[in-house]
Structure 1
Amino acid sequence: MDNDFLPRIGITIGDINGIGPEVIIKALAKSKITRLCTPIIYGSAKHLSKYKSDLDFHDWNFFTIQHPDQANRKKVNLINCYQGPKFEVEYGQLNKDAGLLAFQSLQKATADLKDGHIQALVTAPISKDNIQGEGFDFPGHTEFLAKSFEKESVLMFLVSEELKIGVVTGHIPLEQVKKRINKQSIRDKIKMIKESLVKDFNIQKPRIAVLGLNPHAGENGLLGMEEQEIISPVVEEFREKGNLVFGPFPTDGFFATQKWKQFDAVLAMYHDQGLTPFKMLAFDSGVNFTAALPAVRTSPDHGTAFEIAGKNEADPGSMLNAIFTAIDIYRNRSMNDELQANAISPVEIKKLIKSNKEKN
């Protein structure tokens, strides 16, 4: 891997009336990010200029381009994506034209990601309701990207320096969770977590904790049988193959006693079971990473925060970490691919050892 190569990081604008543009500007203006990557914002120059003026970032500039190949390595770049009726920024308001901009930004950036014109994608928050329309009929970014890359299953992986949590089920109603909890779904997610920890985070022998579904992890069947009939057998399967997988643990005690600190990652059964403790512990620094995609995608772990949009109160920490994490994962994957490509097979190693012995 060329250590001098700066990956192109695509950044979608998100819902223009939320805090996405604000945290993008703040993250790119204060971090000297162009020393680590070439940022390319997918959005609207007109609307981003409005934010720049209102936030008093007059010294911060972007370079408008038509294609990622034209990106200036020393500047923040922007590709205009919007094709629709003219509209103005209305902080904190739902606007279908803003939803269309959010979709067109995501659509264009995803196409460039698939074609290799950018090396990673960072998505600013969208209004999951406002973006719905022709071309986008998904609960969120994760499902859209899975469909775009023709992946039946991916992993919503919330990551920070302190804690990493994946979920078996993502953006679905709570009443559907139990129907989606089965041996194969848990098996698949544990495998995705393990592979991501090794490939994306360079943790070679990861320790993984699995949470229970029911209160007190079922209390030996008194409060539910999923732990005994589904979760425990899968955990045991992985243990028998030499994997460091443990559980199922009762969620409340697991986090209350800080047992999570003993593990490299945690698998929760459903969205709020994983995201609630994660956001309590890492809200300003956490990152939403879509593991098991062939390309790298990260996002801040917060939403549009319409209630503070335009007030210059948004913290860019999660957006900045999403960019840093995307760069790190891209470089880790590139390094692993290079090592595998240059690896000597076990047969060749044996031949070299035998040859050296004969010479000596």
Structure 2
Amino acid sequence: MDPKYKAKIGITIGDIAGIGPEVVLKTLADNRILHHCTPIIYGTGAAVNFYRKQLGLENFNFQIIPASDQALPRKVNVVNCLEEEITFTPGTPSAETGALARAALLKAAEDLKAGHIEAVVTAPIDKDNTQGEGFQFPGHTEFFTQYFDAPESLMFLVADKLRVATATGHIPVKEIAGRITPELLIRKLSILDSSLRKDFGIQKPKIAVLGLNPHAGENGLLGAEEAEIISPVIEQLKAKGNLVFGPFPADGFFGTRSYQKFDATLALYHDQGLIPFKTLAFERGVNFTAGLPVVRTSPDHGTAYNIAGQGKADETSLREALFTAIDILKARTPLV
């Protein structure tokens, strides 16, 4: 990629009753961002203007454009994704705010697939009110995986050198053990290894795998998955030259900061990975969907309706998500 080229990055506005618009505007209010990319907000000009006034960002300027392929460089661009205006109250999600979040997401995905934008950063949505035609998924990760016909993807949380992926995603806890199979672990570890090489420039990744049960099964006393499923997969991959280690007891692994010895950690389920990750890096963490042919990132927090519209939201995670998308694009694109 030409160092002087500024990639077009789509940013979906999320649920406008939450903190998505606030963290997006606070991030883009820093004009230095425009030296790194051409941002395109998918939402409505009315919503952007509402929060511009609400947050007192008088010097924040944006340009409404009819389509993303007409984005202006060194400007914050906005694509209107709904024709009708929406009446809303910060902190109070509704069917209307969910409909806008869905329309913004679908339009950004369409443009990403068409090549009009080169990456997308998604602000938080309400997974309930966003459901509707075109979006019937438990979250962004599952939506993008299907939309881009990826056979598999990986929820991958990153914050500097702290990197945690999850083998399973948004599923009920009672279903986790049944989903952990050798085939699943091999697919997820393969995506993780490939992403570390391609997206983060690590030539020989060293990966830790957590156990499923307390104390990693305690030699079978607390569960057999470690001995029967996880350890054999690790040994199989080691025999092929991969630097994969474990299974490690999850509590001690993070408590002793053992994660610092590895390039990434594979947790086996959502909360096993995200609780320690957010404890360690909540304000700067980024959720990256690995394994896709496109680049999609998001902040690691939700809609935070309880502080929406109050100017209290910290934009650091959204800013980090934007720069992570830019960095991954550069890593994937050779210099020309």
Q: TM-score, normalised by structure 2?
A: 0.98
> 1:50 — aligned with what?
50
Asked if residue 218 in structure 1 is aligned to residue 217 in structure 2, the reply is yes
Counting only pairs closer than 5 Å after superposition, residues 197-236 of structure 1 correspond to structure 2 as 197-236=196-235
Deviation at 1:152, TM superposition (A): 2.9
> 2:78 — aligned with what?
78
| RMSD of Structure 2 on Structure 1 (CA) | 1.1
Deviation at 1:179, TM superposition (A): 1.3
> 2:37 — aligned with what?
37
> 2:10 — aligned with what?
10
Counting only pairs closer than 5 Å after superposition, residues 221-260 of structure 1 correspond to structure 2 as 221-260=220-259
Deviation at 1:202, TM superposition (A): 0.2
Q: 2: CA distance between counterparts of 1:163 and 1:295? A: 22
> 1:144 — aligned with what?
143
Counting only pairs closer than 5 Å after superposition, residues 325-336 of structure 1 correspond to structure 2 as 325-335=324-334
Whichever residue aligns with residue 217 of structure 1, its letter is A
> 1:22 — aligned with what?
22
Residues 174-209 of structure 1 deviation map (CA, whole Å, 9 limit, x = unaligned): 011111100010111111110000000000011100
Contact (CA 8 Å) 1:156, 1:288: kept in 2 or not?
A: yes
Whichever residue aligns with residue 90 of structure 1, its letter is T
> 1:94 — aligned with what?
93
Contact (CA 8 Å) 1:47, 1:89: kept in 2 or not?
A: no
Structure 1 residues 222, 294: closer, same or farther in 2, change over 3 A?
Answer: same
Q: 2: CA distance between counterparts of 1:160 and 1:202? A: 15
> 1:304 — aligned with what?
303
Deviation at 1:89, TM superposition (A): 2.7
Corresponding residue SS for 1:32 = helix
Whichever residue aligns with residue 28 of structure 2, its letter is L
> 2:195 — aligned with what?
196
Residues 212-245 of structure 1 deviation map (CA, whole Å, 9 limit, x = unaligned): 0000000000000000000000001111111110
Whichever residue aligns with residue 307 of structure 1, its letter is N
Q: 2: CA distance between counterparts of 1:178 and 1:37? A: 42
Contact (CA 8 Å) 2:18, 2:93: kept in 1 or not?
A: no
Whichever residue aligns with residue 3 of structure 1, its letter is P
Contact (CA 8 Å) 1:297, 1:326: kept in 2 or not?
A: yes
Corresponding residue SS for 2:247 = strand
Q: 1: CA distance between counterparts of 2:152 and 2:204? A: 24
Whichever residue aligns with residue 29 of structure 1, its letter is A
Which is higher, the Rg of structure 1 or of structure 2? 1
Q: 2: CA distance between counterparts of 1:152 and 1:17? A: 34
Taking only the aligned residue pairs, the percentage that are identical comes to 56
Whichever residue aligns with residue 324 of structure 2, its letter is T
Deviation at 1:31, TM superposition (A): 5.4
> 1:348 — aligned with what?
none
Q: 1: CA distance between counterparts of 2:247 and 2:108? A: 39
Contact (CA 8 Å) 1:47, 1:88: kept in 2 or not?
A: no
Contact (CA 8 Å) 2:150, 2:293: kept in 1 or not?
A: no
Corresponding residue SS for 2:203 = coil
Q: 2: CA distance between counterparts of 1:223 and 1:205? A: 33
Contact (CA 8 Å) 2:166, 2:267: kept in 1 or not?
A: yes
Q: 2: CA distance between counterparts of 1:155 and 1:258? A: 23
Asked if residue 277 in structure 1 is aligned to residue 272 in structure 2, the reply is no
Once the two structures are overlaid, the 10-residue window that deviates more, 115-124 or 68-77, is 68-77
Deviation at 1:162, TM superposition (A): 3.0
Deviation at 1:57, TM superposition (A): 0.3
Q: 2: CA distance between counterparts of 1:146 and 1:74? A: 31
Structure 2: runs of 5 or more not aligned: none
Runs of 4+ in 1 over 4 A off after TM superposition: none
Structure 1 residues 152, 83: closer, same or farther in 2, change over 3 A?
Answer: farther
> 2:315 — aligned with what?
316
Q: 1: CA distance between counterparts of 2:64 and 2:233? A: 51
Q: 2: CA distance between counterparts of 1:74 and 1:60? A: 13
> 1:107 — aligned with what?
106
Structure 1: runs of 5 or more not aligned: 340-360
> 2:290 — aligned with what?
291
Deviation at 1:32, TM superposition (A): 1.3
Contact (CA 8 Å) 1:158, 1:289: kept in 2 or not?
A: yes
Corresponding residue SS for 1:158 = strand
Deviation at 1:163, TM superposition (A): 0.6
Aligned length: 336
